[in-house]
Structure 1
């Protein structure tokens, strides 16, 4: 387990940051607080709101929170069993998967406690409203992107 300490530390930091922000949102903003009930951080661009998402990214699979919780657990188990094949002893891979695992666990805890994921970052780009998200979602996206970039740069082994 010490070989993966970087992954564990990053996952713990992401999980704590995610849950701390969601506790603050729960305590500060009324549920479904779009518009006047939200907090404007940068007018016309960035608001803090309090919404629940029973789906995945962009509300895909809405209403399937139990299925998504099971998928999250299966993903964590798969990562554990395939850790050697994923190169998780490498520091860069540990950072990527620390972000990924911390985010997965953060959203999983929401699904188990609330039946939905708490989202609160509300971004607007002109007339386009980006789907509301949270710290865990950001960590998952950055972790996947980081790992894909890293894995594409790894030398391939030749079987000849």
Structure 2
């Protein structure tokens, strides 16, 4: 693909690259700085307290997908990432990727997918390090790539709802 063909997707590429770079730099810092297993307050490897009783830095490994689901399927999950990226590329016109909101949404998503794929192929697991507590509830640990994926999907859903609302308002959608 030449530069002229990439130009309409500049925002998507910049957002994806930004998420990927921040994700990989933060994971590299955690891998070099905190030993694996740094997690529970009071353990032999306590977390780094950023905001007491709310935000901690930890170093755990995730050999599965979100919340550790599908543990042990690292290669399959990595290949699913490749399929997702190919699908986004292949269906880019259908997905409306020339629109700015869609570029941001899919840039976040692509950066996150690639960030976690790098971990899966380099480490055989994903590095998670953000640990949030809400009272007695501890949210499952995550990373910057996960943030990109989650926010990207949320923006895509929002854009889809806005498109449907605009179409209904303009009378271009029929009920039934």
**TM-score normalized with structure 1 length:** 0.96
Q: Which of 118, 138, 151 is 1:109 aligned to? A: 118
Deviation larger for 106-115 or 119-128: 119-128
Aligned residue runs from structure 1 range 8-157, under 5 A? 8-35=13-40, 36-154=45-163, 155-156=166-167, 157=172
Can you list the C-alpha shifts for 1:62-118, whole angstroms capped at 9, x where unaligned? 111111001000000000000000010000100000000000000000000000000
How far, CA to CA, are the matches of 2:148 and 2:136 in structure 1?
A: 26
Deviation larger for 11-20 or 32-41: 32-41
Q: Gaps (5+ residues) in structure 2? A: 1-5
- RMSD between aligned alpha carbons? 1.2
How far, CA to CA, are the matches of 1:123 and 1:115 in structure 2?
A: 24
- 1:124 counterpart SS class: strand
**TM-score normalized with structure 2 length:** 0.87
The list of structure 1 runs, each at least 4 consecutive aligned residues, that deviate by more than 4 angstroms after superposition, is none
Quote how far apart the aligned CAs of 1:21 are: 0.1
Quote how far apart the aligned CAs of 1:37 are: 3.1
From the CA coordinates, give the structure whose radius of gyration is larger: 2
How far, CA to CA, are the matches of 1:80 and 1:55 in structure 2?
A: 25
Does structure 2 conserve the Cα–Cα contact (< 8 Å) formed by 1:40 and 1:47?
yes
Q: Gaps (5+ residues) in structure 1? A: none
